[in-house]
Chains A and B, each alone.
Chain A
Amino acid sequence: MSRFDRRHFLQLGAAGTALIPFGRNAFAASAPGNKRLVVVLLRGAVDGLNVVVPHAEAAYYEARPTIAIPQPARDGGALDLDGHFGLHPAMAALMPHWRDGTLAFVPASGSPDATRSHFDAQDYMESGTPGQKSTADGWMNRLLTALPVKRTSTTALSFGPTLPRIFAGPSDVATVPLGRAAASPIPLDRPIINAAFDQLYTGEDALSRAYREGLESHKKVMKDLQADMMAADNGAPSPDTFGQDAAHLARLIKQDPSVNLAFFALGGWDTHVNQGGSDGQLAGRLKPLAEGLAGLATGLGKDYQDTAILVMSEFGRTVHENGNRGTDHGHGNVMWVMGGSVAGGKIHGRWPGLESAALYENRDLAVTTDFRSVIASVLAGHMKLTPGQVAGILPGAPTGDIVLVRA
């Protein structure tokens, strides 16, 4: 029995139905526990206006004399999406997903809170409660708690050495090392050492729990990745670490049906100086991002059908470029969602435009879609959570104003 079949078999057991799902939307009706969500947070505020470029607007080009992305037909031009918007040319790797209808963009999305502090804005985006600093946990931990699955040590994976705010909370999350370290054996794999240290960490305190979780997820991850990696890249590290980590995630998901949530944070978007246009600094960050996301989609294979990938950043950047050929902290930004169930090939939400009168505080793109609406739409439509569950995860989020997932 192939792994795919085995999983399907388990799923049938849970759902008590014998329907064999085929075709793109067949999985949308499968049990909620098999739905996966991958969140990528671009820390530092990516310049969304140069990601999804309003190339049909003169105001865009007037505001950005040196860093604008040219119109589609021109040299280094944007890749046209719908005649009004175009994608940054460094992100060409995502275009197949736009064309096959599994990639959707939500421009002018963002936080109802006005802060232009990276730290506050990220905090709000991770707590899911903009304007409220007292929230102790992150929305992905609340989501993890609400998932209708039996949680294992690898139900939620956080890539990178430290647990991010978005995963803070009572449910345990595994941290997966970045790069090749994820598949390396450690001395604790030896039974005699393992047994000795286990005795130190038998309690229910935070350290003991972290120790046990760490060991368990290490064993699972190592087992899943090791053989595969040896064969696949013959020991050569990938030139781009996000691409490598995204490929790890794809392998883990294929090997381990219990992976439901994953989180990545990528830095380096705070382009106050010499941001560049079609080439340059920002382009150099967008290219590996797009290629990593496309690689994740490809690597997931059939599992892409059950996966939603959500990309977000704490706020947008000023419409006008600053005196240093860069952009400062702004307000509205773009979010995007990829995955088999996504109502893609479409620009969602209301576009307020870049005319002076439309700008927020006379300088920034306005927010017309609350970032929580975007997440809520994915939680309801893709993760199949009830309105009550969504409200528990994102209290006060507007609902129903945007539909990002196919019915």
Chain B
Amino acid sequence: MSDTALARHLADRLGFGPRPGDLDHIAKTGPDRWIDQQLHPASLALPKEVAAHLAQLRTLRMSPEETFLEYGPPALREAKSPEQRKDIQERARIVPAEAIEARILRAVYSPAQLEESLVDFWFNHFNVFAAKGLDRVWIGAYERDAIRPHVLGRFRDLLGATAKHPAMLFYLDNWQNTAPNAPGARGNFKGLNENYARELMELHTLGVDGGYSQDDVITLARILTGWGLGGDGSRAPQAAAKARPFGKRVAVDRRFPPAEQKAQGRRGGTFVFAENRHDFSDKTLLGHRIAGRGEAEGEQALDLLARHPATAKRISYKLAQYFVADEPPQAVVDAGAATFAKTDGDIAAVLRTLFARPEFRDPSGFNTRFKTPLRYVVSSLRASGATVRNFRPAFGLLQQLGQPLYGCITPDGYKCTEAAWLNPDGMTRRVTYALALAAGRLPLSESPADQPAGPRAGARRNPDGGALRARGNEPPVNVETLIATLGGISEKTRAVVTTAQPELRAALVLGSPDFMRG
């Protein structure tokens, strides 16, 4: 195995493929030391101009309370006319738009590539849909506060951070989950809501075959009664209660006097434990006794779920599927699960185990994973060495291919397998995009401020993907540089490329079977 082949494998699997010079850098650093740096990315800083670009994204510096006040129900209540309200709702789109922009820029430019892959992985594991009501205003903060800080840390910290984040509380309805006979049970907070409790076990921890019953779902829902949103108490921000779970509008409720609404709204966007809606009885979850004592019951339940052997297996399986193979070898999964159990869910340690496995380093597995739309588009921007200031062409392709960031409606998140993403229409769209990118016809270096209409968060249907219309004026991609960046191409592709018209050559590389895989 050549150093270049292994370097390419690492760049493809741990990250989003090589940028110019990356393979030399990995080979020179040494594969193991490079992996080590990726597992401890604190010293890997973003390029200055990218950091400066990201620093301009104002909503990414705002707390959930601040975006709630500025774009959520409190702002809508103060609007003087339907037009003003509409205007606020339009402006609220900036929150997911900036989150998308930041995610794409980091994936393209961050030297901490593994960290960016893991943001993709964990966001999907703890998926939240940006177009569900108030999640629009919290989506950026969710990734920044609940996901990013923990992607290489302890699983239990990630679990706890997502459990208490307003975006998750709202997405899976737990903010309304109420003990039916509690003093605070009234209005829209009358009874149990099992939604989060079920997904917490089925998707976030144990897995559907992880050995829990419908009784466990109900018990866990009771444990989590009162885990709610600020500005709630027993009543919660009423406008939020009326938000349409899958729609575009946040309706305004005027049943409460303005002063009271204002006071409630001020605290929106924070986690609170609403004691007066909690079920204080003793409970048994998965055979473990949980003494009724309030918020601590939920923490105990999260401890129990995070340390459960089924969770270790499930997380190891999913990580191995993401990094090794669609159907990961059992020995790899077992090794990862053992590390998970031994280290109390240390994610970096589990990954170190997976990356050290012979199955991961076997050249027969190189360049065999079909790229998800996100990996395809980001890897193409990296390999072509393009200057990316405008994220919209990339986002347009993601919409066309059915993987818009923050747009997965269901809590299981986007899948990472070939079966999920390889289809005839997707292939023609990838090739169409490759042709535009290679010819310099995507407006990648234009400032986003010059761009028309922002992306609609979560919109799965923006069929034309206006951003893909050929109107950019970038330098065409140089095919020799591209091939050098990738550390070579297959014989078959090379044969086609060398006989093709010069202006099609780079497109043929970016649209080749080699580049569809990683």
User: Given that A267-B246, A272-B193, A274-B242 are known contacts, is A186 also in contact with B428, CB under 8 Å in the complex?
Assistant: yes
* A135 proximal to B (CB < 8 A): no
Q: Which of A210, A212, A273 has the most CB of B within 10 A?
A: A273
Are B400 and A181 interface neighbours, CB within 8 A? yes
Residue of B nearest to A213 (CB): B424
- Among B217, B246, B425, B435, the residue within 8 A (CB) of A161 is B425
Q: State in angstroms the CA–CA spacing of A116 and B195 once bound together.
A: 11
Q: How distant is A66 from chain B, measured CB to nearest CB, in Å?
A: 10
Are A274 and B424 interface neighbours, CB within 8 A? no
Q: State in angstroms the CA–CA spacing of A168 and B418 once bound together.
A: 12
Q: State in angstroms the CA–CA spacing of A158 and B436 once bound together.
A: 26
Interface residues on B, range: 35 or more
A interface residues, Cβ below 8 angstroms from B: 43-44, 115-120, 158, 160-163, 168, 172-182, 184, 186-188, 192-193, 196-197, 199-201, 205-208, 210-215, 217-218, 241, 267-268, 270-274, 281, 284, 322-326, 328-329, 361
Residue of A nearest to B400 (CB): A161
* B492 proximal to A (CB < 8 A): yes
Interface residues as binary, B210-245 with A (CB distance below 8 Å gives 1, 0 otherwise)? 000010010000000000000000000000011011
Q: Can you name 15 extra interface pairs (CB under 8 A) apart from A43-B410, A274-B242, A323-B190?
A: A116-B198, A116-B214, A119-B203, A162-B423, A175-B426, A188-B431, A192-B501, A193-B435, A197-B508, A201-B513, A207-B427, A207-B513, A272-B193, A322-B193, A323-B188
Q: How distant is A132 from chain B, measured CB to nearest CB, in Å?
A: 13
- Among A200, A273, A361, the residue within 8 A (CB) of B496 is A200
Are A197 and B423 interface neighbours, CB within 8 A? no
Are B425 and A175 interface neighbours, CB within 8 A? yes
Interface residues as binary, B189-210 with A (CB distance below 8 Å gives 1, 0 otherwise)? 1111111001000110000100
- Among A176, A201, A328, the residue within 8 A (CB) of B194 is A328
**Residues in A whose Cβ lies below 8 Å from that of B493:** 200
Are A207 and B402 interface neighbours, CB within 8 A? no
**Residues in A whose Cβ lies below 8 Å from that of B188:** 273-274, 323-325
* B42 proximal to A (CB < 8 A): no
Q: State in angstroms the CA–CA spacing of A218 and B465 once bound together.
A: 17
Number of A-B contacts (CB under 8 A): 185
**Residues in A whose Cβ lies below 8 Å from that of B412:** 119
Q: State in angstroms the CA–CA spacing of A218 and B419 once bound together.
A: 21
Q: How distant is B102 from chain A, measured CB to nearest CB, in Å?
A: 24
Residue of B nearest to A285 (CB): B246
Q: How distant is A6 from chain B, measured CB to nearest CB, in Å?
A: 27
Residue of A nearest to B410 (CB): A118
Are B178 and A200 interface neighbours, CB within 8 A? no
**Residues in B whose Cβ lies below 8 Å from that of A361:** 214
Are A200 and B512 interface neighbours, CB within 8 A? yes
Residue of A nearest to B173 (CB): A272
B interface residues, Cβ below 8 angstroms from A: 173, 176, 178, 180, 185, 188-195, 198, 202-203, 208, 214, 217, 241-242, 244-247, 370, 400-402, 409-410, 412, 418-428, 431-432, 435-436, 460-461, 463-465, 492-493, 496, 500-501, 504, 508, 511-513, 516-517
**Residues in B whose Cβ lies below 8 Å from that of A210:** 422-424, 426-427
Q: State in angstroms the CA–CA spacing of A119 and B241 once bound together.
A: 26
User: Given that A184-B464, A322-B192 are known contacts, is A200 also in contact with B420, CB under 8 Å in the complex?
Assistant: no
Q: State in angstroms the CA–CA spacing of A326 and B245 once bound together.
A: 11
Q: How distant is B489 from chain A, measured CB to nearest CB, in Å?
A: 11
Are A176 and B246 interface neighbours, CB within 8 A? no
Q: State in angstroms the CA–CA spacing of A115 and B65 once bound together.
A: 38
Are B426 and A324 interface neighbours, CB within 8 A? no
**Residues in B whose Cβ lies below 8 Å from that of A118:** 410
Are A200 and B192 interface neighbours, CB within 8 A? no
Q: State in angstroms the CA–CA spacing of A208 and B513 once bound together.
A: 8
Are A323 and B176 interface neighbours, CB within 8 A? yes
- Among B180, B192, B208, B463, the residue within 8 A (CB) of A120 is B208
Are B246 and A268 interface neighbours, CB within 8 A? yes
Q: State in angstroms the CA–CA spacing of A238 and B325 once bound together.
A: 41
- Among A174, A179, A324, the residue within 8 A (CB) of B461 is A179
Are B193 and A215 interface neighbours, CB within 8 A? no
- A-B pairs with beta carbons under 8 Å apart, 8 shown: A172-B424, A197-B431, A200-B513, A274-B242, A322-B193, A323-B180, A323-B191, A361-B214
Are B461 and A186 interface neighbours, CB within 8 A? no
Residue of A nearest to B251 (CB): A274
Q: State in angstroms the CA–CA spacing of A36 and B216 once bound together.
A: 44
Q: State in angstroms the CA–CA spacing of A180 and B245 once bound together.
A: 26
Are A197 and B425 interface neighbours, CB within 8 A? no
- Among B244, B426, B501, B504, the residue within 8 A (CB) of A281 is B244
Are B241 and A274 interface neighbours, CB within 8 A? yes
Are B242 and A117 interface neighbours, CB within 8 A? no
Are B463 and A178 interface neighbours, CB within 8 A? yes
**Residues in A whose Cβ lies below 8 Å from that of B418:** 206
User: Given that A117-B208, A192-B501, A322-B192 are known contacts, is A162 also in contact with B463, CB under 8 Å in the complex?
Assistant: no
Residue of A nearest to B514 (CB): A200
Residue of B nearest to A215 (CB): B428
Q: State in angstroms the CA–CA spacing of A197 and B509 once bound together.
A: 10
Q: How distant is A284 from chain B, measured CB to nearest CB, in Å?
A: 7
Residue of A nearest to B186 (CB): A323
Residue of B nearest to A237 (CB): B463
Residue of A nearest to B244 (CB): A281
Are B432 and A186 interface neighbours, CB within 8 A? yes
Are A177 and B463 interface neighbours, CB within 8 A? yes
Are A323 and B516 interface neighbours, CB within 8 A? no
- Among A187, A268, A272, A274, the residue within 8 A (CB) of B195 is A272
Q: How distant is A158 from chain B, measured CB to nearest CB, in Å?
A: 8
**Residues in A whose Cβ lies below 8 Å from that of B421:** 162
Q: How distant is B480 from chain A, measured CB to nearest CB, in Å?
A: 18
Q: Which of B419, B423, B460, B516 has the most CB of A within 10 A?
A: B423
User: Given that A213-B424, A323-B193 are known contacts, is A273 also in contact with B198, CB under 8 Å in the complex?
Assistant: no
Are B208 and A196 interface neighbours, CB within 8 A? no
**Residues in B whose Cβ lies below 8 Å from that of A180:** 463-464
**Residues in A whose Cβ lies below 8 Å from that of B190:** 322-324
Residue of B nearest to A190 (CB): B435
Q: State in angstroms the CA–CA spacing of A361 and B217 once bound together.
A: 14
Q: How distant is A232 from chain B, measured CB to nearest CB, in Å?
A: 17
Are B427 and A214 interface neighbours, CB within 8 A? yes
**Residues in B whose Cβ lies below 8 Å from that of A215:** 424, 428
Q: State in angstroms the CA–CA spacing of A404 and B189 once bound together.
A: 43
- Among B193, B410, B463, the residue within 8 A (CB) of A179 is B463
Residue of A nearest to B209 (CB): A133
Residue of A nearest to B504 (CB): A196
